[in-house]
Chain A
Amino acid sequence: MSHIHIEVEHLNFSYEKKQPILRDISFFAGEQESVGIIGANGVGKSTLLKLLVGLNLNFEGSVRVEEIPLEKQTLAKIREKMGYVFQDADSQLFMPNVYEDVAFAPRNYGLPEEEVKRRTEAALAAVRIEHLREKPIYKLSGGEKKMVSIATILSMTPDIILMDEPSVALDPKNRRNLIKLLNEFSHLKIIASHDLDFIWDTCQRTILMAEGKIIRDGRTEEILRDKELLEAYGLELPLSLFEKR
């Protein structure tokens, strides 16, 4: 078995005892898989992603990243392997310019400046934003901020990429660019999104959640074509699958 994988077993989580957010979540995601997590508002998609990177450790059950159990003592090691892209780019970008933001993670890992430079340039090249290197963050458009957000985690050379609503606030062109970019990445990707067309275009596997539980876990083509299933859980067919009038 490849060493790059996430294994979640019987994960339960709630902020308050009487209101469980996640109930008995179990799944396995392996190398080069692209997994979409879909569901109506409030089902726990974002919460699940945050738990996978250890932003909250008060859960029951187990999460293992490449055989390392997710605990307080292993957080630093696990976070080196995982890149998390926030829904709101303004929460992700806090340095004065693009280069400094993308270089932030490699510097924190104590890498020599030549290596920091190499990784930063490689990350900028991977998302094709070398021309934005010196640009102040506040001058970036929404699409550019999203690309820079992705570059900031690529410079960490993660094995696993987690993305929370990556296509929000992107215009059609930037959205198409993002889809193309993600399809070029060979990382294990887990993407939480309302944009079912985006999931259709980027993920081979889909996990449908409702009321904090996994309702269905299977091939994207099967789940996103099942109109009755989607509508039963507050969703609709992807727009691209609607019959044209």
Chain B
Amino acid sequence: MSKINQAIYEIQSLDTLANENRWVNRLHPLVKLCVTILYIGITVSFPKYNLSGLLVMAVYPVILFVIGEISFKDSIRRLRLVLPVVCVVGIFNPLFDKNTVTYFGSLAVSGGVLSMITLMLKGIFTVLAGYLLIASTTIEKICYALRLLHLPKLFVTQILLIYRYLSVLLAEANRMTQAYALRAPGQKGVHFKVWGSLVGQLLLRSMDRAEELYESMCLRGYQGEFYYGGRIKLGAADMVYLLAWTGIFLALRIFPVLEVIGGIFVG
């Protein structure tokens, strides 16, 4: 399968995952969005040397992967391009911050190493939180939640339509590269001399498609607002979910949980 086809397949399988009938998928999208935003906000707020405090924030993705029946292996596979980028963000920290801040047994650990590790963990946790939201909530429900938060309708419409047409655009790009490959035997990839022409054609076709799409929407009464299947009611389970995770995140942020547990065992 070509890389483009693989990308199309991944988008569609993520969509299928979000449409499955699991308890986490049935939660109100606004609640899931708020919990995700709160989790990300609290995770990145940890100080750069507070590794022990940050580690316990893994509880949210771990619980959701297990109880939400979402495959961790599939998530790592899907995020294999993003996670390394996130991990190298703090890679130069050890060069700039060489002061010893703690000891791991007898091994001195510099501030740079510690801040690099906390940065990596923050990146991994926040990306996983975003993935869990997308894997359990369809894009139209995410957009519905964004509108409930009063994000501009133009912005939300853009997100919805980009998601819908990403597959169409990738399929078009796939057809063009296949047509090229069938007339360029023996070549690996696309010769750089043709890049401009291919990209230009893709742009023109995208613009034509966008124009037709807009015409189609206007002919069916579109006046700037997307209406999604009526109001989704907030239930007791949604409130429990929201309040429980809010309490847990705040507790993990305020109290040094690992130290408390360690103190209990050490005495």
Residues of A within 8 A of B (CB): 50, 53, 55, 76, 79-80, 82-84, 86, 88, 90-92, 94-96, 99-100, 103-105, 107-109, 113, 136-139, 152-153, 156
Does B220 contact A153, Cβ atoms closer than 8 Å? yes
Bound Cα distance A122, B243 (Å):
42
A-B pairs under 8 A by CB, number:
73
Does B219 contact A138, Cβ atoms closer than 8 Å? no
Chain B residues whose CB sits within 8 angstroms of the CB of A109 once the complex forms: 221
| Stretch binding the partner chain, chosen from B40-48, B81-89, B223-231, B249-257 | B223-231
Chain A residues whose CB sits within 8 angstroms of the CB of B223 once the complex forms: 108
Given A94-B213, A95-B164, A96-B138: A107 and B219 within 8 A (CB)? Answer: no
Q: What sequence of 0s and 1s flags, for each residue 172-215 of chain B, a beta carbon within 8 Å of any chain A beta carbon? A: 00000000000000000000000000000000000001001101
Does B140 contact A90, Cβ atoms closer than 8 Å? no
Chain A residues whose CB sits within 8 angstroms of the CB of B165 once the complex forms: 94
- Rounded to whole Å, the gap between the CB of B40 and the closest CB of chain A is 25
Chain A residues whose CB sits within 8 angstroms of the CB of B222 once the complex forms: 104, 108
With an 8 A cutoff between CB atoms, is B161 at the interface?
yes
Bound Cα distance A82, B212 (Å):
17
Chain B residues whose CB sits within 8 angstroms of the CB of A152 once the complex forms: 220
- Rounded to whole Å, the gap between the CB of B211 and the closest CB of chain A is 9
| B19, B165, B212, B219 pick with most chain A CB within 10 angstroms | B219
Chain A residues whose CB sits within 8 angstroms of the CB of B97 once the complex forms: none
Bound Cα distance A24, B19 (Å):
53
Chain A residues whose CB sits within 8 angstroms of the CB of B167 once the complex forms: 138
Does A86 contact B212, Cβ atoms closer than 8 Å? yes
